[in-house]
């Protein structure tokens, strides 16, 4: 069993919203989840991202593999956290 950190689609038609979840790689996109780490709302400007980085790091230590999209979102979150601490 491979565990992945990926996006799970929620929201209405033409108004997507995503949850960042830990799930088995064999499960369907909107199927069973193991844990919820945050959410991503691409509709608002700028896009809203909330991610529990502590939980994220714990899951990566356990062997969960983030998808490329989640890696990019994590990079944005860490960049915004860094900017917030510098001010």
**In the chain, helix, strand, coil percent, each to 5?**
30, 40, 30
pLDDT by residue (tens digit) across 15-73? 999 999 999 988 888 888 999 999 999 999 989 999 999 999 999 999 999 999 999 99
Q: What is the distance between the alpha carbons of residues 21 and 68, in angstroms, rounded to a whole number?
A: 14
Q: What is the pLDDT of residue 24?
A: 92
pLDDT higher than threshold 80 for residue 1: no
Please state whether 14 falls in left (phi above 0), alpha (psi between -120 and 50) or beta: left
Q: pTM here?
A: 0.88
pLDDT by residue (tens digit) across 71-82? 999 999 888 888
């Amino acid at each position: 069993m491979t565990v992945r950190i990926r996006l799970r689609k929620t929201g209405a038609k033409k108004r997507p919203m995503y949850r960042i979840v830990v799930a088995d790689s064999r499960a369907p996109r909107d199927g069973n989840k193991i844990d919820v780490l945050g959410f991503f709302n691409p509709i608002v400007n700028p896009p809203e991202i909330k991610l529990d980085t502590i939980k994220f790091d714990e899951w990566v230590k356990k062997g969960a593999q983030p998808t490329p999209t989640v890696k990019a979102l994590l990079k944005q979150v860490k960049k915004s956290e860094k900017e917030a601490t510098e001010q």
